């Protein structure tokens, strides 16, 4: 007998349910209807153990999409592992092919409330000119603005990019790993690529307008010489390191000054000239600034570059340039105010001189005139109001240059001017009651005092503003200069690999999810039983040995091939068919005959393979079996059985063989076989002939089992015709080819014709499927234990 199978599901839930209804005995006590002359010890060991019913390893209510998803993920574990391996390799590649980047850090302070220099806080009227409240967010935006960055670009020549040309895909990683002196030797004889140790520095580059943003090719020569090529490969000029080289391209100058070149002859470099705006935009993307802690005015700045010295140099240049422009911006505000005040001084001085002259001339002409105390108070008030009005008017003109008339500050000044003007008009009305001479003297004296006061205030303001401007400092200062970083901040090996693994895992799970959603095949017998209402009598795993047998039959077109039950009796598929053999006893208890129809929804589900091997296993158990190939359209059971095509069922039904069919006895298999014969034009009509019914009736009396391999149900009506005469019908479905809808439709078709479908068989189940894992280990354990118990113990030595 074949040895135990350690990796196959042989549970028979359908047979167990039938047995519970039709027999008072347990599964352990039930045996197939073998001849009484055979002793129980002659029964195959697999038969005695496969009939056992094991409890389920799972709860049916746990199902659902998550359960399917997890089992599908387990089924596809090798695919998931392959995707993760590829993702991990991609992560390593990304790490090796990414240039290192270094980040330099600096520290600045932005004084948010400043009114000029600390020693000049008394000049509060110039707070908006010399300082005032500022926004840190606004200052950060100014720091990253194009004017600030453009100054740095022009100062450090950052609009010039010169980089080696690496071999595609992995050349950059090889160059990064080089640590030897000089330059690395070229791989694969590709000397035009940089393989490690190459360096270049271009001090200045001037190109025609058409070459902006396009990489020119600089080919290194011997002893510091080089050639500059166009993007198309045409030579533009030749030069040497340390010497400025220039030429004319369509009337436009081309100038290049290479200060350093370390490379073997023939190595290529890409040299690119960017516009200042493009370079400034790239600089701004690599620069960052943030206020930390919040509301502290402390800015932590950083800049990322491919070299540590370059990162520190550029960051220091950005901070210094911003600080300088910040101070210049505040100086410009003070200069504008000084210019405005100096512009008001000459007219006011002329007005003062004219007022003094008119007052003196009037007094000389009329003599000294006494002014009462009340009139003097009115004069003083008028003088103060006019002086204040003049100051407000100056302030309004200054603000008008910066704001619109609807601005709150301008509207506030206008409101104050209106109130003072009304008060001034009231005071002037009081002077109208005075004598004419006193009115004139009062008016002239008022002009002198008002103008004199305004002139003095203007002189004082100019002096104060000049002193304040001299002591003005910006509200930004550098606390810590940037230093070259000690190591790169990117790429990070762990980050690159983990990111790639996470992406790979998401891709793998997405594929698993799609497989669950798009899967149309049958891989869960319990779900099929619940939907159809019939038991699944056996699940037959996919057999590599049977696959080789089928390929051999197709390749050789010969008959010298044994069925799987004889060639590989220990194959998991054969063990599953043995389990089905045990269940047949219960299927035929109430059948009117011993004829068993085996069919399927579509072609290539394995019904012929199942019919032949089941017949062989039944014969091995001592039963007398007749196997009929009922597929007179495309029947090939004779090839699986190893016999040559000859007369058979077709010839018997047409009467060519007389009253007796041409039944072959296959000695090696122990079965009788009736082939399909030649292919008739009307198979369904022949099957409806009374000869076919008589054949099945006579055969049922002479054989323990009559197995009929019928055509597929959904393809033709032959199976429905045969099923009318059979005692039981088995529906064979193949896991990846059929779905539940096809099985359900096939069973309905058979029922409509009167055929009795008693169970289903799932063929081609993968040993790695989620269903097979529920039973196969437990069966393997029980099967192995049973066989071990029956083996005699070794004699003591």
Q: What percent of the chain has pLDDT over 90?
A: 31
Phi (first) and psi of residue 398, to 5 degrees: -65, -45
Lowest average pLDDT, out of 155-159, 309-313, 341-345, 483-487, goes to: 341-345
Residues 463 and 356 in one domain: yes
Residues 642 and 747 in one domain: yes
What is the distance between the alpha carbons of residues 13 and 651, in angstroms, rounded to a whole number? 41
What average pLDDT score do residues 663-684 get?
Answer: 89
Residue 331 lies in a domain: no
Q: How confident is the model at residue 332 (pLDDT cuts 50, 70, 90)?
A: low
What is the distance between the alpha carbons of residues 65 and 68, in angstroms, rounded to a whole number? 5
3-class secondary structure per residue, 648-705: CHHHHHHCCCCCCCCCEEECCCCEEEECCCCCCCCHHHHHCCHHHHHHHHHHHHHCCE
Residues 607 and 466 in one domain: no
Residues 355 and 455 in one domain: yes
Residue 418 lies in a domain: yes
What average pLDDT score do residues 33-59 get?
Answer: 35
Q: Where does a domain end: 472, 498, 532?
A: 472
Residues 721 and 656 in one domain: yes
Residue 376 lies in a domain: yes
Residues 721 and 572 in one domain: yes
Residues 587 and 674 in one domain: yes
What is the distance between the alpha carbons of residues 326 and 134, in angstroms, rounded to a whole number? 12
Residues 697 and 557 in one domain: yes
Residue 121 lies in a domain: no
What is the distance between the alpha carbons of residues 413 and 398, in angstroms, rounded to a whole number? 12
Q: How confident is the model at residue 33 (pLDDT cuts 50, 70, 90)?
A: very low
Domain containing 745 — which CATH number?
3.40.50.300
- pLDDT tens-digit series, residues 397-442: 778 777 788 888 888 888 888 888 888 787 777 666 666 666 676 6
**Are 597 and 718 a contacting pair, CB within 8 Å?**
no
Residues 624 and 716 in one domain: yes
DSSP string, 742-769: HHHHHHHHHHHTT--EEEEEEEEE-TTS
What is the distance between the alpha carbons of residues 292 and 133, in angstroms, rounded to a whole number? 19
**Are 496 and 94 a contacting pair, CB within 8 Å?**
yes
Q: How confident is the model at residue 30 (pLDDT cuts 50, 70, 90)?
A: very low
Q: Residue 445 sits in which domain range?
A: 347-472
Residues 736 and 651 in one domain: yes
* Share of the chain residues as helix, strand and coil, in percent rounded to the nearest 5: 50, 15, 35
> What pLDDT shows up at residue 123?
39
- pLDDT tens-digit series, residues 88-100: 999 988 888 888 8
> What pLDDT shows up at residue 415?
87
Q: Is the pLDDT of residue 38 over 70?
A: no
What average pLDDT score do residues 42-53 get?
Answer: 34
**Are 386 and 446 a contacting pair, CB within 8 Å?**
yes
Where do we find the tokens 């020549």? 157
Q: Where does a domain end: 443, 472, 501?
A: 472
Residue 610 lies in a domain: yes
Residue 315 lies in a domain: no
Q: Is the pLDDT of residue 537 over 70?
A: yes
- pLDDT tens-digit series, residues 363-379: 777 665 556 566 667 77
- pLDDT tens-digit series, residues 725-765: 888 899 999 877 888 888 889 999 888 888 888 889 988 88
Residues 256 and 363 in one domain: no
Q: Where does a domain end: 228, 257, 273?
A: 273
For the chain, what is the domain count? 3
> What pLDDT shows up at residue 374?
62
Residue 329 lies in a domain: no
Between 694 and 789, the higher pLDDT residue: 694
Residues 432 and 367 in one domain: yes
Cα maximum dimension of the chain: 170
- pLDDT tens-digit series, residues 581-632: 888 877 777 777 888 999 999 888 889 999 999 999 999 999 999 999 999 8
Residue 723 lies in a domain: yes
């Amino acid at each position: 007998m074949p040895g135990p199978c350690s990796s196959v599901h042989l549970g028979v839930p359908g047979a167990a349910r039938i047995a519970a209804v039709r027999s008072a005995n347990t599964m352990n006590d039930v045996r197939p209807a073998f001849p009484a002359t055979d002793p129980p010890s002659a029964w195959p060991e697999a038969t005695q153990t496969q009939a056992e019913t094991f409890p389920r390893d799972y709860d049916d209510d746990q199902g659902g999409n998550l359960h399917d998803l997890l089992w599908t993920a387990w089924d596809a574990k090798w695919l998931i592992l392959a995707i993760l391996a590829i993702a991990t390799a991609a992560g390593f590649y990304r790490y090796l092919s990414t240039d290192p980047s270094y980040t330099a850090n600096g520290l600045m302070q932005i004084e948010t409330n400043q009114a000029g220099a600390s020693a000049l806080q008394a000049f509060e009227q110039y707070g908006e000119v010399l300082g005032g409240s500022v926004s840190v967010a606004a200052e950060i935006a100014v720091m990253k603005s194009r004017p600030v960055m453009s100054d740095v670009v022009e100062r450090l020549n950052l609009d010039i990019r010169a980089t080696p040309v690496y071999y595609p895909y992995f050349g950059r990683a090889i160059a990064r790993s080089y640590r030897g002196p000089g330059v690395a030797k070229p791989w694969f004889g590709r000397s035009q690529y940089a393989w490690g140790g190459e360096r270049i520095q271009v001090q200045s580059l001037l190109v025609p307008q058409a070459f902006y943003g396009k990489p020119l090719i600089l080919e290194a020569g011997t002893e510091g010489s080089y050639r500059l090529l166009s993007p198309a490969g045409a030579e533009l000029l030749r030069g040497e390191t340390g010497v400025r080289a220039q030429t004319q391209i369509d009337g436009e100058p081309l100038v290049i000054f290479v200060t350093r070149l370390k490379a073997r002859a023939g190595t290529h470099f890409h040299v690119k000239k960017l516009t200042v705006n493009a370079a400034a935009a790239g600089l701004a993307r690599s620069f960052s600034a943030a206020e930390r802690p919040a509301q502290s005015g402390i800015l932590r700045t950083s800049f990322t570059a491919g070299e540590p010295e370059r990162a520190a140099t550029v960051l220091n240049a950005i901070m210094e340039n911003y600080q300088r422009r910040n101070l210049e911006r505040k100086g410009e505000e003070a200069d504008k105010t000084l210019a405005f005040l100096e512009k008001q001084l000459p007219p006011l001085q002329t007005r003062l001189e004219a007022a003094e002259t008119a007052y003196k001339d009037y007094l000389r002409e009329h003599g000294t005139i006494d002014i009462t105390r009340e009139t003097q108070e009115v004069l003083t008030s008028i003088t103060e109001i006019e002086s204040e009005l003049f100051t407000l008017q100056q302030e309004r003109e200054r603000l008008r240059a910066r704001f619109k008339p609807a601005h709150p500050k301008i509207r506030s000044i206008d409101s104050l001017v209106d109130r003072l003007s009304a008060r001034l008009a009231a005071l002037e009305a009081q002077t109208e009651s005075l004598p004419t001479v006193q009115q004139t003297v009062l008016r002239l004296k008022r002009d002198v005092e008002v103008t004199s006061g305004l002139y003095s205030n203007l002189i004082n303001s100019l002096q104060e503003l000049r002193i304040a401007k001299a002591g003005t400092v910006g509200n930004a200062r550098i606390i810590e200069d940037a230093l070259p970083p000690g190591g790169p901040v990117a790429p990070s090996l762990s980050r690159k690999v983990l990111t790639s693994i996470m992406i790979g895992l998401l891709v793998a799970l997405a594929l698993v999810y799609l497989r669950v959603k798009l899967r149309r095949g049958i891989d869960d017998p319990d779900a099929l039983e619940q939907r159809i209402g019939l038991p699944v009598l056996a699940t037959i795993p996919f057999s590599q040995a049977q696959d080789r047998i089928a390929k051999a039959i197709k390749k050789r077109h010969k008959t010298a091939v044994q069925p799987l039950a004889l060639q590989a009796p220990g194959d998991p598929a054969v063990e599953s068919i043995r389990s089905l053999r045990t269940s047949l006893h219960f299927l035929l208890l109430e059948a009117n005959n011993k004829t068993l129809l085996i069919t399927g929804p579509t072609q290539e589900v394995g019904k012929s393979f199942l019919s032949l091997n089941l017949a062989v296993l039944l014969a091995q158990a001592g039963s007398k079996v007749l196997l009929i190939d009922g597929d007179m359209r495309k029947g090939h059971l004779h090839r699986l059985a190893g016999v040559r095509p000859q007369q058979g069922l077709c010839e018997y039904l047409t009467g060519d063989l007389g009253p007796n069919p041409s039944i072959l006895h296959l000695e090696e298999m122990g079965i009788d076989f009736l082939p399909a014969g030649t292919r008739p034009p009307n198979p369904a009509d022949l099957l409806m002939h009374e000869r076919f019914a008589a054949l099945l009736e006579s055969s049922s009396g002479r054989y323990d089992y009559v197995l009929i391999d019928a055509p597929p149900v959904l393809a033709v009506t032959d199976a429905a015709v045969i099923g009318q005469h059979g005692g039981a019908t088995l529906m064979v479905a193949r896991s990846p080819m059929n779905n539940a809808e096809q099985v359900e439709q096939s069973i309905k078709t058979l029922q409509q014709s009167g055929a009795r479908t008693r169970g289903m068989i799932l063929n081609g189940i993968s040993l790695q499927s989620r269903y097979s894992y529920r039973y196969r280990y437990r069966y393997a354990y029980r099967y192995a234990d049973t066989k071990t118990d029956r083996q005699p113990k070794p004699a003591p030595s």
